[in-house]
Structure 1
Amino acid sequence: MAKQIEIVIQESESELKVLLNQQTKLLQYQRVKALVLIKQGHVSYTYQLAKKLKRERKTIYNWLKLYDQEGLNSYLKIKSRGSRKEQIPNEVKEAISVKLSDSSTTITSYVELLEWIESHFDLVLNYKTLYSHCRTHHNSVLKVARKTHHKKDDQAVEAFKKTTR
């Protein structure tokens, strides 16, 4: 049989309703709503609360455990992710900027730029990382012209250009 919710909520029902109206984010709203439903006695089990809030039972269990252990402030604090570490150091970014803005550079492709970074900074980067950095921060378009065919006749090309005009 399912275990009943045995949590003591210190805040009064009116305080929780005021707090519920102050919430601007959905997750915080649902967390306070869970406390309100428990305080009013509408739910007795985590699966009932999960059904009402359209969340997983385990999520509700974790919320209530967090509230019980750390209190209301940390219960309403939403921990966001996304603090990803930069893969390209600032000194390399500056060197890339200088290299791309230099008109006399011999670099004509991202692969060559990648090799240049490897040789000068001993840093192994993913091609996609370098490509997206250069495209977003420097608006660079490194293109290499197609190779001409080894049997191509230059005189025939000139004759073709003269007849098309």
Structure 2
Amino acid sequence: MSRTVGQRGGSVSVVGEGADKRRGRNETEEERADRKWGELIQEVRVAQTGVQILFGFLLTVVFQPKYATLEHSNQMIYILTVVLGACATGALIGPVSLHRLVAGRRVKPQAVRWASRMTFIGLVLLLATMTSSLLLILRVATHDGWVPYLVTGVVLWYVLFWFAVPLWTRRRYTAR
């Protein structure tokens, strides 16, 4: 017979007669995969919206009259930015395609792991797309020598909030 002793941060400690303390959710591998899939899809929706708006904007730039007057180096940055945006879009839409193609095949735990990897790659590509977009915009808007420093500062800001804080939180609060 087991009973709930306490609840902390969403995890439950269960003590049974002669049983060891247990932390975490009492769910099967399939239930965990379903929960993680739902969480992942919500996260992907946010990132997809951002990358699709940015990518759509980028696609229009080449059709503007000013594009022809850009320096060759700025045109190359633009082309790189569009390619990065296309790759980010593909990586962030990938989990949807993966889910659709493997639905009903009893591989949801594996699909969740792959979708999670695709999402992480998509976020890294989104960071690269935003970095090159910012670089291009600031190079065209101003010719000041401080542009690379400003872009570096913004990239560090993204890295702090997209990767460093989450990794620190994971390390700090993950139960051992």
Same fold (TM over 0.5): no
**Which TM bucket (shorter chain)?**
under 0.3
Bigger Rg over Cα? 1
Which structure has the highest helix share of the two? 2
Which structure has the highest strand share of the two? 2
